Structure 1
Amino acid sequence: MIWDCQVTDARKKSHRGQPEKDIMSDRFDCKNCNESLCGRKYIQVEEQPHCIPCYDRLYAKTCQECKEIIGHNDKELFYENRHYHDNCFRCFRCDRSLADEPFTNQADGLVCSDCYCNEFSSKCVACDKIVMPGSKMLEYGGSSWHEDCFVCHGCEKPIGAEAFIPDKNNYYCVPCYEGRFAPQCSHCKKALTKGGVTYKDEVWHKECFLCTGCKAPLAGQPFTSQGESPYCVKCFSSLYAKKCAGCNTAITGFGDGKYVSFEDRQWHQPCFKCSRCSVSLVGSGFFPDRDQILCTDCNNDD
């Protein structure tokens, strides 16, 4: 606070009531230079009076920008342990005053929000406007969007933090992408968005590709078909497979699946052997003898 010291005269009287000579009151001097402050303005520091020149020299701050003293009558701004004249607190790019403006601190100096946005902020690829600092922004593939500008190319609703699927230069929410592009399961008719099963040029969810007979899942399991319908090995064997004339088990085509057919009978290849000596008849001549099949040697023995 600046004080103004006034000069006053004090007239003392004797005990007899007669005036004595005029005397000045006690001296009131600057604590630093000891010059009288009577009739002058002064500033108290820790209850000690200082004349204005001494106060400015001893206590006034130096402006960070112009390096001049910030006098007692100057408006002072303070930011990050630095002091500025009011008219020195400016954007280093456009020179506008930052006294009542939002700003940020860059390596080269203080920058107003407009200059910062023009130079450092991203532009929304949808509306071509700057994404203001502090506002919600989405980034993907090196591009930026305002939150409300990142919309599904199908339904045009903001995607926000939801999952999305890119397709060329467009982006889709999951329901729109599934409805437009994803193949449909042949069983449940719902979209197939991840690994499934392909059979006869059609696709299924793994959990939808079932045995026609017992309804057991066939994904990852051996299966065969009857007409257009898939069957597990057990169901196909019991319903459709022919029995081997040698071992009387089903001929399914799995494992050692090759078989020999003769007239109305079939054999697994390992089972196609001479009924008497058990020599394999695969690729050799043989002779049918009622329910038996004989090799040449056994046939000649007869």
Structure 2
Amino acid sequence: MLLGEPAVYAERAGYDKLWHPACFVCSTCNELLVDMIYFWKKGKMFCGRHYGDSEKPRCAGCDELIFSNEYTQAEGQNWHLKHFCCFDCDCILAGETYVMEKDKPICKPCYMKNYAVKCASCQKTVEPEAQRVSYGEHHWHAEPECFKCSGCTKCLIGQRFMAVKNFLVCSVECKKKVVA
């Protein structure tokens, strides 16, 4: 800094620190802090939002700081207890089974009603925790009674298969049986 240049002095940072006005920014988001409330912590300058984030967790549901000691951590984020809820029906999910659907938590009943896929073989809904096999738009329970050849009923789990129309087959011979 040259003598006579405009400078910003931040009392909280100490008497020996000066900044060019354009350099007086939040260390996290680079927001200009001239004429703004600023915070000094561990040798860094922060805007109010990022200083708050360094002190308290922020709720992924409402984007506000969480001051309560009781909150939920899920999917790598923090949530007020009342804000970790199903995005379809608003029921509270803390301690409940839920499924992430397009980065949104959904309770199991709503998932089963609105998002779950049906097995192409038995036509029953595939539970979210169930093992399944998916191929294109088709899904099957990963069980011998569902994921099997339509020609010879051989289990196809871990085997080569072909999908012909809505049928699974293990070989060209079985394909001829099914297509005929």
**Range class of TM-score, shorter chain:** 0.5 to 0.7
Q: Which position in structure 2 is the counterpart of 1:236?
A: 111
Match for 2:137 among 232, 254, 264? 264
Amino acid at match of 1:292: F
Aligned mates of 1:290, 1:227 — CA distance in 2: 29
Aligned mates of 1:263, 1:181 — CA distance in 2: 47
Q: Which position in structure 2 is the counterpart of 1:37?
A: none
Q: Which position in structure 2 is the counterpart of 1:294?
A: 169
Q: Which runs of 5+ in 1 are unaligned?
A: 1-177
Give the superposed CA RMSD: 3.3
Match for 1:280 among 155, 163, 167? 155
Write out per-residue CA displacement over residues 254-287 of structure 1, whole angstroms, 9 at most, x where no aligned residue: 1x2x322224312121121123553311112334
Q: TM-score, normalised by structure 1?
A: 0.34
Q: Which runs of 5+ in 2 are unaligned?
A: 1-51
Structural mapping, 1:128-143, within 5 Å: none
**1:192–1:205: 8 Å Cα contact kept in structure 2?**
no
Q: Over alpha carbons, which structure has the higher Rg?
A: 1
Higher relative contact order (Cα pairs below 8 Å, separated by 6+ residues): 2
Residue 246 of structure 1 and its aligned partner are, at CA, apart by 1.5
**1:185–1:192: 8 Å Cα contact kept in structure 2?**
no
Identity between Structure 1 and Structure 2 (%): 28
Aligned mates of 1:215, 1:235 — CA distance in 2: 10
Aligned mates of 1:290, 1:208 — CA distance in 2: 45
Write out per-residue CA displacement over residues 156-211 of structure 1, whole angstroms, 9 at most, x where no aligned residue: xxxxxxxxxxxxxxxxxxxxxx9x93334343536343232123443112232100
Q: TM-score, normalised by structure 2?
A: 0.53
Aligned mates of 1:249, 1:213 — CA distance in 2: 22
Aligned mates of 2:156, 2:109 — CA distance in 1: 29
Q: Which position in structure 1 is the counterpart of 2:71?
A: 196
Between Structure 1 and Structure 2, the one with more strand by share is 1
Q: Kindly tell me: are residues 263 and 208 of structure 1, through their superposed partners in 2, closer, same or farther at Cα, counting changes over 3 Å?
A: closer
Q: Which position in structure 2 is the counterpart of 1:248?
A: 123
Matched, 1:208 2:77: no
Write out per-residue CA displacement over residues 134-166 of structure 1, whole angstroms, 9 at most, x where no aligned residue: xxxxxxxxxxxxxxxxxxxxxxxxxxxxxxxxx
Write out per-residue CA displacement over residues 225-273 of structure 1, whole angstroms, 9 at most, x where no aligned residue: 222321112212332333221222334541x2x3222243121211211
Q: Kindly tell me: are residues 206 and 278 of structure 1, through their superposed partners in 2, closer, same or farther at Cα, counting changes over 3 Å?
A: farther
Residue 289 of structure 1 and its aligned partner are, at CA, apart by 4.3
